[in-house]
Amino acid sequence: MVEKLFRVRVGGMSCVDCEHRVRRALEAAGARVLKVSWPRAEAVVGLPEGGLDFGRLASAVAAAGYEPGPVEPLLSAEPSGPPPAPDAEYDLAIIGSGAAAFAAAIRAVELGARVLMVERETLGGTCVNVGCVPSKALLRAAEVYYEAGHHPFAGIYTRAEGLDPAKVIGQKAELIGELRREKYADLVDFYGWELVYGQARFEGPDVISVDGRRVKARAYLVATGATPYEAVPPIPGLAGADFLTYIEALELKEVPGRLVVIGANAVGLELGQYFQMLGSRVTLFELMPRIAPFEEPEVSEALARAFKAQGFEIFTGARVERVEKNKIYARVDGEQVVREFDRILVATGRRPATRELNVRAAGVEVDGRGAVIVDQYLRTTNPRVWAAGDVAGGPQFVYVAAYEGKIAAENILAEAGRKVELEAVPRVAFTQPQVAAVGLGEAEARRAGYEVRTAVLPAKEVVRARANRRPDGLFKLVADSRSGRILGVHVVSEQAGEVIFAATLAVKFGLRVEDLVESFAPYLTMSEGLRLAALAFSRDVARLSCCAG
């Protein structure tokens, strides 16, 4: 949805509770609230273009007991590049060196720009160093080890004879080194931008310093990503428990006998399963009512069944109260639960890495989580500063970051006026079974005003799942009942990540249920589940022969 950003002046706020009340009032009036600040007597909101009802906002603020003030646009309505800067050393200075930063730098050089990239620590950002690449490499190693002792095939006699975690970590490090060199370091030389190491800080609206060196560019791109350390919950005793985030977990050279995981979204589930497959007894504590809480309820339920069958202990609706020595105390359904542990993994999310940037000196607004506030063109509240990737508060996926980095470069240097469009972003959790989804969930689609119909196909109806002896899971399709257009696809099954790209095309290009039904699906593949799920809107798939339509 195209939107514009506004600052709403709000008088009479005196505390954090006031911020919460104003936020609820503005959200009820239809605004997307990015930030409320009682010390600054203001809120920053996004409002849909063409549907701006300032009177409704004022009435909502007044009804909540506060004083509505002026509503001011934060940015000009039309996209534009940064102002001229005749004394600038660079056309674009990029802070960060991950996916968003590299995509922006490559495109900027192609557009003829003078580019500086500033990296505080390690080249390459989260994905290659401490995220996607190492976690999936370790997960695959653990799967091989686990399968040797737990495969489902009769008459095949194998066993897991031994484990050397240090060698597994060492091989992972070799892979990271290779990819960091090939996909990052070598590209700096190939494209020819300048790379410097140091902590970048804004010293004003048009200048940064890098460890004391003043740098002036025509425009700046903030692409510093996100960090797990800002998202660690303030649980009494946790800081003294030598807890792990995903960063430390990916370097651990021993397998904990008892592992407690706080947080059961993708990272907690993946790494919990990694250690479980290597032999840990894993207990999951999730504050929300179900694991994988942002997936469809049916997906969460299917994944929970699979995890429990694998030996996980799962507590949902669990509020961790404290940590004492090697014990963790939580409140679940009004009862206290106490578990002993050898290590704790904290997987409660990531927050944008803006603390050290001094963005306030540049007049750049951030939201309550520290994310840089941007419009649909990735402009911040400073006409010289853009932001892209995880630091801008959008979906935290490396491919989204790269997409945004390229768009930011084109908007800055070519005034392309490209808008960020994230209606068909796929996601995958590389658990066993995998979880993958794209588009809207059922409740989300209803909130968006669609008349919704759904179909849920058990994975066991896909013959490939039966042949693989991995029948757990399901396929769920969400469709608009009027047009038949596919709004969302949600899969929990073996190889779900390999299936979801086809579903992404279906959502992005507005395919209808009948389009899937009338298309060929290769047999035996898991992707056939998409067609069978489409058939399930009108037929009992269990009563059809193989490949029948």
* pLDDT tens column, 497-529: 999 999 999 999 999 999 999 999 999 999 999
**Which has the closest alpha carbon to 40: 52, 57, 22, 56?**
22
CA distances from 486 to 285, 331, 476 (A): 34, 40, 11
Spell out where 15-110 has E strands.
32-37, 42-48, 67-73, 90-95
Confidence at 549, pLDDT banded by 50, 70, 90: low
> Would you please indicate which residues are annotated as catalytic (active-site) residues?
13, 15, 18, 66, 127, 132, 546-547
Q: Is the pLDDT of residue 2 over 80?
A: no
Confidence at 72, pLDDT banded by 50, 70, 90: confident
Mean pLDDT of 122-128: 97
- Domains of the chain, earliest start first: 3-73 (3.30.70.100), 90-227+352-413 (3.50.50.60), 231-346 (3.50.50.60), 427-543 (3.30.390.30)
Q: Is the pLDDT of residue 51 over 80?
A: no
The alpha carbon of 181 is separated from its chain's Cα centroid by a whole number of angstroms, namely 25
Mean pLDDT of 374-391: 96
Q: Are 269 and 260 in contact (CB under 8 A)?
A: no
Which residues, including other chains, have CB under 8 Å from residue 30's CB and lie 6 or more apart? 47, 48, 51, 53, 56
- Average pLDDT across the chain, whole number: 95
Cα–Cα distance, 317 to 429 (Å, whole number): 21
Q: What is the pLDDT of residue 50?
A: 64
* pLDDT tens column, 424-433: 999 999 999 9
Q: Are 143 and 432 in contact (CB under 8 A)?
A: yes
The alpha carbon of 18 is separated from its chain's Cα centroid by a whole number of angstroms, namely 29
- Name the percent of the chain lying above pLDDT 90: 88
- Name the percent of the chain lying above pLDDT 70: 98
* pLDDT tens column, 455-512: 999 999 999 999 999 999 999 999 999 999 999 999 999 999 999 999 999 999 999 9
Q: Are 254 and 248 in contact (CB under 8 A)?
A: no
Cα–Cα distance, 155 to 157 (Å, whole number): 6
Confidence at 73, pLDDT banded by 50, 70, 90: confident
Q: What is the pLDDT of residue 1?
A: 43
- Tokens 């419009």 correspond to 375
Cα–Cα distance, 436 to 299 (Å, whole number): 9
* pLDDT tens column, 243-302: 999 999 999 999 999 999 999 999 999 999 999 999 999 999 999 999 999 999 999 999
* pLDDT tens column, 128-183: 999 999 999 999 999 999 999 999 999 999 999 999 999 999 999 999 999 999 99
Question: Higher pLDDT residue, 405 or 19?
Answer: 405
